[in-house]
Amino acid sequence: MQRVTAAVTPKGERRRCALVSAAADLLCEGGFDAVRHRAVARRAGLPLASTTYYFSSLDDLIAKAVEYVGTQETQQLHDKVAMLSRRRRSAESIADIVVDLLVGDSPERVSEYLISRYERLIACARQPGLRNVQRHILKQRTEAVVEIIERSGRCVRPELVSALVCAVDGAVVAALVGDGVSPRETARATLIGVIDVLAPIVSFASVDGPARPERVMIHGAAISPAVEATNERRSRR
């Protein structure tokens, strides 16, 4: 009971947050193997005993660190998407924005950042307690890409965007272990090749409003695809 009481005091909460932040930094820098009681305490500037005082186990501390990193990444996603204006964009422009979002916009630290991310992803697959945290992070990434595409004047189906994000992840991992082409270039090429297919341009509609089906022109008048199909069936009779 004393441990629980201490952990919820202002001082206890500050120490707990400092330990989680320190564990998150170590996790991003060196993977799961870098997160050890002594290393976390040293990074946080706290006594070694504090790591076992505020957390039931090392796995508990690691789980909180994974959740912390995921929360930080998710907030960054939302902040970037919120700054994006609504206007029609080309496949190339959308690819650039999505690459910045999913891969990173700092070439100097892209590789280490990505290696850390995918190490966490694979490690979480082996730890049932962390899978839900990682699933939530993946869901947030997909939703962010969906919003980017919608803000760019495109029709979008979330299930197709999920497949697109997975394709980018696969391309980036291949680039990390390959030679020559950078992860950013690989991801961009993957996106440009499929954006127009998976997310066609919305026609005759404001990107601020709901998506409308593309219309065709006949004798100067615009008709919908449904009307066009009806006329075609009548002409065949």
What ranges do the domains of the chain cover?
1-60, 84-201, 203-237
Residue 19 · residue 52 · CB < 8 Å: no
* pLDDT tens digits, 109-123: 677 778 888 888 888
DSSP 8-state assignment for residue 78: H
Query: At the topology level of CATH, where does 1-60 sit?
Result: Arc Repressor Mutant, subunit A (1.10.10)
pTM over 0.75: no
26: Cβ contacts below 8 Å, ≥ 6 apart: 34, 35, 39, 40, 43, 65
* pLDDT tens digits, 210-230: 444 444 333 344 434 443 444
